[in-house]
Amino acid sequence: MSMYGLNEIRSGMKLIIDNDPCVVVDNEFVKPGKGQAFNRLRYRNLKTGRVIERTYKSGDSILAADVVEIDAQYLYRSDDEWHFMANETYEQYVVHEAEVQDAKQWLKEQCDCKLTLWNGTPILVVPPTFVTLKIVETDPGLKGDTSGGGGKPAKLESGAVVRVPLFVQEGESIKVDTRTGEYVSRAKE
């Protein structure tokens, strides 16, 4: 497995730090005129999403991580397994609860996702930025309400609960931004 010297590490590179795959956010060379050289590395742990800062001696090396992102379609769920298929190779991948994390509440069969693979194994699922999902449960709204006001909770077919305007009814489909979990608009099926 290849190693990168601290001086050649650039943002966007994938590394293994503390046994976890990480992506480099920023690498700053720090050296006092007379003192020892260090690199101040900021990186995101790809499993937890947390951004961490750590200081390395400039002469050190860090193991490169074999991490790739692929386009895949969500197929179906069976118990605690989520099944995906790579768009390009048709290869199927099984993803478990820990990796599907926040994505699972947005997954609808046949939707296009991004899978992050580490050594060929999925470690992260990113759902499409916008999804269209049907409301399976919400209180009936009051007649004449427009989109202003506080809204109400609505449960979607994928399991997520989002706040929607009062005029939106059970059985309708809506567009949601998965990054924020916010209602965008009503959608035509």
Partner 1 sequence: MSREQKNNWQPSASLSNLKLRSQVIDAIRSFFKARQVLEIDTPILCSNTVTDPFISSIPAHVAINQNNKLKTYYLQTSPEYAMKRLLAACPIPIFQITKSFRQGEIGHNHNPEFTMLEWYRPHYDHHQLMDEMDELLQSILCCQKAIRKTYADLFFDILQINPHQVELNHLKDCARKHHIHLANEVTDKDTWLDLLMSHCIEPKLLGDRPFFIYDFPASQAALARIKKGDPSVAMRFEVYAQGRELANGFYELQDAHEQRLRFETNLLKRNELGLDELPIDEYFLSALNTGLPDCSGVALGVDRLIMLVAESDNIQDILSFDFSRV
Supply the minimum distance, in Å, between the C-beta of residue 29 and partner 1: 3
Structure tokens at 143: 């007649």
- Judged by CB under 8 A, the residue of 55, 92, 119, 129 near partner 1 is 55
The side-by-side arrangement of strands in the sheet containing 152-156 is 161-164, 152-156, 130-138, 173-177, 182-187
Supply the minimum distance, in Å, between the C-beta of residue 34 and partner 1: 6
Supply the minimum distance, in Å, between the C-beta of residue 30 and partner 1: 5
State yes or no: residue 50 binds partner 1 (CB under 8 A).
Answer: no
Neighbours of 159 (CB within 10 A): 13
Binding mask 60-99 for partner 1 (x = CB under 8 A): x---------------------------------------
Cα–Cα distance for residue pair 71/76, rounded to 1 Å: 16
Q: Which is nearer to partner 1, 31 or 96 (CB)?
A: 31
Tell me the one-letter amino acid at 92: Q
Nearest to 140 by CA among 118, 172, 112, 114: 172
| Site of tokens 């999902």 | 133
Neighbours of 186 (CB within 10 A): 17
Stretch that binds partner 1, among 24-32, 86-94, 148-156, 160-168 (CB under 8 A): 24-32
- Judged by CB under 8 A, the residue of 36, 119, 147, 180 near partner 1 is 36
Q: Decide: helix, strand or coil at residue 105.
A: helix
- Judged by CB under 8 A, the residue of 33, 120, 144, 171 near partner 1 is 33
Q: Which is nearer to partner 1, 53 or 137 (CB)?
A: 53
Q: Are 154 and 171 in contact (CB under 8 A)?
A: no
How many residues bind to partner 1 according to rule CB under 8 A?
21
- Judged by CB under 8 A, the residue of 3, 11, 51, 57 near partner 1 is 57
Q: Are 23 and 16 in contact (CB under 8 A)?
A: no
Supply the minimum distance, in Å, between the C-beta of residue 24 and partner 1: 14
The residue ranges that bind partner 1 (CB under 8 A) are 7, 28-38, 40, 52-58, 60
